[in-house]
Structure 1
Amino acid sequence: MGELRHGPVVPQVENLLRERLRRKEWAPGERLPNEVRLAEELGVGRSSVREAVRLLARDGLLDVRHGAGTFVAEPPAESSGVQQLLRRARLLEVYEVRRALEVEAARLAAQRVRPEDIERLRAGLRNRQQRRGGAPAAFVDADLEFHRAIVELSGNALLLNLFLAALPLLRETLIEMVRHETGLPDVSCAHADLLDALERGDAAAAVEATVDNLETVLSGVRAAVAQ
């Protein structure tokens, strides 16, 4: 079982439970330990467990039966589009959070970045590009490391802590996106534009490139969810 870090508790509890479900620690249809026991196991409050369970139930992973308990949901039929819709809805939420965090981080980073930081970012961007089209997890890790470095360069500890708290869920959601979504846009140009803006110290251009990167994916996801 993983350990909780500093930062918002609910996303971490959700990720820990999601990982246990992924490992099939509980079989489909099996009843989970009650709220009190899970809270004790994880070292968190019952309200945090309750909210994490609610999020997992919304994603179709758990089945909350009032008066009976919480059960592992039966896997959907392969032909069902429900899971895809749930995945896209979660992706939409994740990208909205990314946008809020990374736009401000890019603006601040453009004001504070140093030449040696640019070289490190350039190497990170090369690594991202080299992994594009390869294993989804390796590509997502390289992409998130590039963005994490920019958030770190913002110099804002709270922004960085919020980003790191969301990182496990963000990673999992993006890997699912790369694996399952077809016709994903190539946002490599937006990443290159962001690096150029940071190198010039142009905060407005850094914000614009970040918005272009995230909104390109967001617009496609919004359209798919709305269909």
Structure 2
Amino acid sequence: MTLTASHRPPLVAEVTAKLRALIHSGEWPLQQRIPAEPELMAAFGVSRGTLREAIKALAHSGMLEVRRGDGTYVRATSEIAGATQRMYQDHSQEHILEVRVGLDTQAARLAARHATAGDIAGMRELLTARRVAWLAGDYAAWARADWDFHVLVAEASANPLLHELYVSFGVIFHNDLLRQQRRGGFNGLPHEGHGELVDAIAGRDEAAAVESVTRNLNSCAEWLQE
């Protein structure tokens, strides 16, 4: 009789994968507390020790944050996003902006090549929502719409790795945007890198798309140095 190794992953790894999927899918949103231990133990049919090991693994990767006496919260949507937050949380706005130059310009170039009509329509809708929120003074909604716009450009690049890398910077870029908004004289509705960018993407003009993004980011860099 020949014994064969089971291909089923260890129980902790299995539960970890289930928790990761719930976070990655958005069923457990960012900054929200996940269900309490008894509920998760019943849902997965596992012991408290197994569940805690799985949570510990995702907390170590940066996806979850265990707050003593308060519960466990979603901190990032993937391991790469958690690692990115740990790596860049102490860096300056200038450093963050320099990283964006590389990601945004490549996303713009590829989006001009691959974006669908649905992508372009979605971008225009987000820019409308962004304008409405800014004019209403709803800066949290403005920042969300602005960020969602740039994420959609990255998604429209048709490069899933670039999109994942871009999303991994989400909390950092989003918080940086809100910090900029609180400084006097900040223009929350620049046409460069937004309206111009969509027009370039719709026109399949890769050079114009990159130029629009570069102008916008250079303007941000100059403003930060003032």
Question: Is 2:125 the counterpart of 1:123?
Answer: yes
For residues 180 and 208 of structure 2, what CA distance do their matches in structure 1 show? 27
Letter in 2 for 1:124: L
Residue 95 of structure 1 is aligned with which of 82, 94, 97?
A: 97
Query: 1:214 is matched with which residue?
Result: 217
For 2:116 and 2:86, locate their aligned partners in 1 and report how far apart those are by CA, in whole Å: 43
Q: Match for 1:98: what amino acid?
A: R
Q: CA deviation at 1:195?
A: 0.9
The residue number in structure 2 matching 1:174 is 177
Do the aligned residues in 2 keep the contact of 1:90 with 1:173 (CA within 8 Å)?
Answer: no
TM-score, length of structure 1 as denominator length: 0.60
The structure-2 alpha-carbon separation of the partners of 1:181 and 1:111, relative to structure 1 and needing over 3 Å to count, comes to same
User: Quick one: which of 118, 135, 140 aligns to 1:137?
Assistant: 140
The residue correspondences of 1:138-157 to structure 2 (distance < 5 A) are 138-157=141-160
The answer to whether the Cα contact below 8 Å between 2:123 and 2:152 also exists between their aligned partners in 1 is: yes
Task: State the alpha-carbon separation in 1 of the partners of residues 216 and 202 from structure 2.
Answer: 18
Cα distance between partner residues in 1 of 2:125 and 2:172 = 25
Work out whether 1:192 is the aligned partner of 2:208. no
The one-letter code matched in structure 1 to 2:173 is L
Distance in structure 1 (CA, Å) of the matches to 2:113 and 2:221:
27
Identity of aligned residues (%): 28
1:128, distance to aligned residue in structure 2 (A) = 1.2
The aligned runs of 1:18-37 (5 Å cut-off) are: none
Equivalent residue letter for 2:123: L
Contact 2:197 2:208 in 1 (8 A): yes
Give the CA deviation at 1:101: 0.5
Residues 7-41 of structure 1, C-alpha deviations (whole Å, 9 max, x = no match): xxxxxxxx98xx9xxxxxxxxxxxxxxxxxxx958
1:219 CA drift (Å): 1.4
Query: For residues 52 and 100 of structure 1, do their structure 2 counterparts lie closer, same or farther at Cα, with a shift above 3 Å needed?
Result: closer
Partners of 2:172 and 2:189 in 1: CA distance: 21
What RMSD, in angstroms, separates the aligned Cα atoms of the two structures? 3.3
* RCO comparison, higher one (Cα < 8 Å, 6+): 1
Shift of 1:55: 6.3
Tell me which amino acid in the other structure corresponds to 1:125.
L
Taking the TM superposition and a 5 Å limit, the aligned residue runs for 1:34-45 are: 40=56, 43-44=59-60
* 8 Å CA contact 2:85, 2:171 repeated in 1: no
Deviation at 1:158, TM superposition (A): 1.1
Partner Cα distance (1:138, 1:186) in 2:
12
**Corresponding residue of 1:112:** 114
Give the distance between the partners of 1:211 and 1:115, measured in 2 at CA: 24
Secondary structure of 2:148's partner? helix
- Extract structure 1 runs of 4+ deviating beyond 6 A: 3-6, 51-55
Contact 1:194 1:205 in 2 (8 A): yes
Residues in 2 aligned to 1:204 and 1:54: alpha-carbon distance in whole angstroms: 32
Q: Which has the larger radius of gyration?
A: 2
For these two proteins, the number of residue pairs brought into alignment is 160
Separation of aligned partners in 1, 2:216 and 2:107: 14
For normalisation by structure 2, the TM-score amounts to 0.60
